Amino acid sequence: MRAAERAGAPGRIRFTRRQLYYELCRGLRPVQRLPRRLRVTPRPAVGYERFLAALDAHGPVPGLLTGDRPAPVAALHDDVPDLYDYGLPRLLVCQDPEIAGMLLANELHMESACPVFALRDLPLDPRLTAALQRTPDAVVHVLHDASTAGYAAVADVVRWAGDVRVHPLGLRPVHATALHLCTTAAARSAVFAGGGLPALAGGLEPWELRWLGAGRAVEVAAVGPARLLRTVHRLVRGVTRNRRRPALRRQIRAAGFMTWPAA
């Protein structure tokens, strides 16, 4: 199973069964090499059940997360009385509990100082909510699938977050098509809940809305584990790599007598 090696590269990333499954599909049909302009999202090459059966036959795979998710870390720290007295600048809510577990297993919460929760963990400890509200620019990031269910999840988080800003990280259909991710195996049979998209799907291009409206769905798990980690690290910290340098040059050109130093 070379897919397992690729999923863990570089450097022993822990991944979920579904991520391994999509990695296998990528190996069988390397459409990700197509140019990004083509809006291609392939169907999976093999069924998920067949994959699970093969996985059982194969035996243990290094790096594969089998359990649901590690025990909540917060419980360990409850002996620190002033833990919740601090502000909390950001928080990540994942639609898929397995992805939340995967991000935790890869210690995203430690590296990016961003607690990770699954959608089903909501509502969170009120002390956490208070910590968020204490920070002026706090953001709740949402990592959701590119599907109507994904945008419904965003709407749920917005309802919970109240006046805290919510930032949907994606996947948007534009991400899914640019990366040529596999559509979800079950998506075709998923019932499209005819009530139209949640209001939050505003900001999407018309073709993206049509794409969602056709009942297509791409899971976050379909993103390569390494790319997922890298992107989430970058997005929750608000680092925009592609825009940084031109912005600096533009700012230098625009600098003048009334320019205020940044720091």
Partner 1 sequence: MSQYREIPYTDELLSDRSVHRRFADGREEWRRRAGDRHVEWRDNFGRAGVDEVLGQRVIKRTYATGQVVYGRDQGYGRTAWNDGQMTINRSSFRGRTGAIIAAVGAGALLGAVIAPPLMMSGMEEEQLRQQAVQQPTSGGDGGGDDAGTWTNDTNDDTDDDFG
Footprint of partner 1 on this chain (CB under 8 A)?
A: 9-10, 32-33, 36, 168-172, 174-175, 177-179, 203, 223, 226-227, 230-231, 234-235, 240-243, 248-249, 251-263
Give the residue with the Cβ less far from partner 1, 55 or 219: 219
Give the residue with the Cβ less far from partner 1, 94 or 179: 179
The CB-of-178 to partner 1 minimum distance in angstroms stands at: 4
189 neighbors 49 (Cβ within 8 angstroms) = no
The CB-of-157 to partner 1 minimum distance in angstroms stands at: 16
- The terminus-to-terminus CA distance of the chain in angstroms comes to 51
Give the residue with the Cβ less far from partner 1, 31 or 45: 31
The CB-of-210 to partner 1 minimum distance in angstroms stands at: 17
The CB-of-252 to partner 1 minimum distance in angstroms stands at: 5
Work out whether strand 64-65 and strand 139-143 pair parallel, antiparallel, or are unpaired: unpaired
Burial 13-39 (b: 16+ CB within 10 A, else e): bbbbbbbbbbbbbbeeeebeeeeeeee
Give the residue with the Cβ less far from partner 1, 47 or 259: 259
Provide the total of helices (H) and of strands (E) in the chain, helices listed first. Answer: 11, 6
The CB-of-46 to partner 1 minimum distance in angstroms stands at: 23
Give the residue with the Cβ less far from partner 1, 55 or 236: 236
44 neighbors 33 (Cβ within 8 angstroms) = no
10 contacts: CB under 8 Å, gap ≥ 6: 226
Give the residue with the Cβ less far from partner 1, 66 or 242: 242
The CB-of-133 to partner 1 minimum distance in angstroms stands at: 22
The CB-of-159 to partner 1 minimum distance in angstroms stands at: 21
> Which among 219, 208, 164 is positioned nearest to 18, based on CA atoms?
219
The structure tokens 């909540």 sit at 72
Give the residue with the Cβ less far from partner 1, 77 or 244: 244
Angstrom distance (rounded) from CA 118 to CA 153 = 10
Burial 80-101 (b: 16+ CB within 10 A, else e): eeeebeeebbbbbbbbbbbbbb
